[in-house]
Amino acid sequence: MSDLKIEFEVLFVNDGSSDNSSYILSELSKKNTNIKVINFSRNYGHEAAMIAGIDYSSGDVVICMDADLQNPPEKIKDMVEKYLKGFDIVTMRRVENEGASISKKIASKIFYSILNLISPIKFEPNTSDFFLISNRIADILRTNFRERNRFLRGFLQMLGFSRATIDYVAPERAAGKSKYSYAKLFKLSLTAVATFSNLPLRLGVIFGIFMGALSIVVGIYSLVMKLLGYVIPGYTTVVVLISFLFAVQLFVTGLIGEYLGFLFEENKKRPIYIVDKVISHEQHNGEVE
């Protein structure tokens, strides 16, 4: 950052870490005037941490990146150059993720394929939570996009404005292990689908039309066979059909429940995050030794 010869600040959002991160960050802020630490009261999740960093930022541009160094800091120069050329949003696209397993890579491809299939907004695959936004985009996110269940990288692609994309290779984590389990990734996927598409709610209508058409065909077939004198054993068919219909019904009911759950969370209007304390160099200078 010093090589760029621009004024900057580094905001560390400590999302309720259970290790020694808070103390280490506090010591760093004592030594460096550009560092500020935002400590959450507990763990609120990755999405909440990102929006908190945007909320507390004050620069002309905001760059969001993970602390595990899988978002290479050397790409910041390229991102700033894109901004200086007039782009309000610079998204970063992973062309290779050296730290991800084959199963996670496959899951990511499936997720974006499904999301683009059912959403009216088409998303660029493999974009990450490593991005640059101008202050006016940050103001929009601070003011208007305050959902409790959010998919921030999706918001950036639906906003419009001038946007550039830079490719990068994500190296392995510098330290530690990822806290993003498959369960959390699945929950994030559900959030993305519910945020950007209502198609799952229409599955009941789609299945209903399909099964209605199928029942007409089966009814005509049964009537013709009866008129021709054929006896049609129907026990197995009935059992399979009823089991299938119950499975469809429960699946659609579950989808409706997920959407109602999202609505319930939004309606409660609880805070996205709660800050325990903010630590900066100026505060340390004001402390009594």
Q: pLDDT (tens digit, 9 = 90+) per residue, 108-164?
A: 778 777 777 777 777 787 888 899 999 999 998 888 888 777 778 888 888 888 888
Please report, to the nearest 10 degrees, the dihedral formed by the alpha carbons of residues 165, 73, 143, 265 taken in order.
100
Q: What is the pTM for the complete model shown?
A: 0.70
pLDDT band per the 50, 70, 90 thresholds, residue 87: very high
Q: What distance in Å separates the CA atoms of residue 222 and residue 233, rounded to the nearest whole number? A: 10
Can you tell me the mean pLDDT for 83-96?
Answer: 89
Can you tell me the mean pLDDT for 252-273?
Answer: 74
pLDDT at residue 289, rounded to an integer:
35
Q: What distance in Å separates the CA atoms of residue 2 and residue 8, rounded to the nearest whole number? A: 9
Q: Is 60 helix (H, G, I), strand (E, B) or coil?
A: coil
Q: What distance in Å separates the CA atoms of residue 265 and residue 46, rounded to the nearest whole number? A: 17
Task: Pick the closest to residue 162 from 79, 83, 50, 54 (CA basis).
Answer: 83
Q: What distance in Å separates the CA atoms of residue 140 and residue 123, rounded to the nearest whole number? A: 20
Query: What number of H helices and E strands is found in the chain?
Result: 10, 7
Answer yes or no: are the C-beta atoms of 80 and 90 closer than 8 Å. no
Higher pLDDT pick, 102 / 178 = 102
